[in-house]
Amino acid sequence: MHVSKIDLTLQYNLVGVAHFCLNIEAAHTPMQRIVSEALTVSPQITLHQYCDANNGNHFIRFDAPAGPLQVRYQATVELQPQQAVQDLQDLQESPVSEVPDNVLRYMMPSRYCESDVMSRSAQQMFGRLAPGYQRVKAVTQWVQDNIMYLPGSTISTTTAQEVFVLRAGVCRDFAHLGITMCRALNIPARLVVGYVYFNEPPQDFHAIFEAWLGGRWVLFDPSGMAPVDRVVRIGTGRDAKDVAFATIFGPAMMTSKEVTVYESDAPGGLQIQAGEPVPVAQSAPMPVMLPASTPATQPLNEPVTVATA
């Protein structure tokens, strides 16, 4: 059994009152058990927590006054062993008529995954491959082989089509492109965001995707940055719009973000892996989404133009 210990600290400076909606807590799923978790917000603020019925994502909402704000989330999570790769080889794609109602939405184009626009390219590149696990694996491998991991090459509004042209991006861009190709092949696919240790710091949130194969969701990481069975899931969505780690209504500037992940395969205890603070110039892969309702005269000064993982 794999055990991960997570320590996240977010620090902001507010020049006025702002409303925060955070998606940073480890999800409660059959594949991961929350051994312990703690959330601290300073200054002390009344928090409202809720779970999105559509995807199971947990959110924390609160109003923050002007001045400094610190949010710290700590958790210890046990991850169940994933099915071995050799057991996935024979998984087949589902005919569209057999896709469950609650999965159908993940076949549709979305803000960052324009599968309708990319349909011709996807069919030319992967349409002749045998349907099933191996075809999604081929999509994943193509993204990893042909898209350069290059922080700063994309911004928070970059779409999969743009990444396809740029041939560069960060982990969320890799995942968006994989999702887009799958949907263009009539394979339901969705974004997964979580915590995982990287061999090369700085630590940050991580984005991968999962495809609907053999009547179940199967994880893929086109960035190749970490084993998918070690990712502690935070949220799931159609694309980054659904799983931003922070949505802020009002004037806020992030001053620091530190993500540290310790990992171990039980028994034997947690082996400490040193996470590195992420400076402000290197923002998270899941952008802070600025809602259209936020007044233009009160911009969100979050550094969302650069993603690190």
**Which domain range does residue 108 map to?**
85-242
Tokens of 279: 């400076």
Residue 153 lies in a domain: yes
Please tell me whether residues 255 and 271 are part of one structural domain: yes
Please tell me whether residues 171 and 256 are part of one structural domain: no
Please tell me whether residues 173 and 226 are part of one structural domain: yes
Please tell me whether residues 92 and 183 are part of one structural domain: yes
Higher-confidence residue: 308 or 124?
124
Please tell me whether residues 7 and 97 are part of one structural domain: no
Please tell me whether residues 171 and 266 are part of one structural domain: no
Please tell me whether residues 266 and 235 are part of one structural domain: no
Please tell me whether residues 122 and 234 are part of one structural domain: yes
Please tell me whether residues 147 and 207 are part of one structural domain: yes
Backbone angles phi, psi at 307, to 5 degrees: -120, 145
CA atoms within 13 A on the CB side of 12: 30
pTM for the structure as a whole: 0.84
Does position 49 have pLDDT exceeding 80, yes or no? Answer: yes
Please tell me whether residues 197 and 124 are part of one structural domain: yes
Q: Which of 79-88, 107-116, 125-134 has the lowest mean pLDDT?
A: 79-88
CATH number of the domain residue 110 falls in: 3.10.620.30
Q: What is the pLDDT of residues 104-116, one digit of tens each?
A: 999 999 999 999 9
Please tell me whether residues 51 and 179 are part of one structural domain: no
Closest CA to 270 of 36, 41, 85: 36
Q: What is the pLDDT of residues 157-180, one digit of tens each?
A: 999 999 999 999 999 999 999 999
CA atoms within 13 A on the CB side of 192: 23
Average pLDDT score over the chain: 86
Domain count of the chain?
2
CATH number of the domain residue 7 falls in: 2.60.40.2250
Residue 301 lies in a domain: no
Residue 228 lies in a domain: yes
Choosing from 223, 242, 261, the residue where a domain stops is 242
Please tell me whether residues 137 and 164 are part of one structural domain: yes
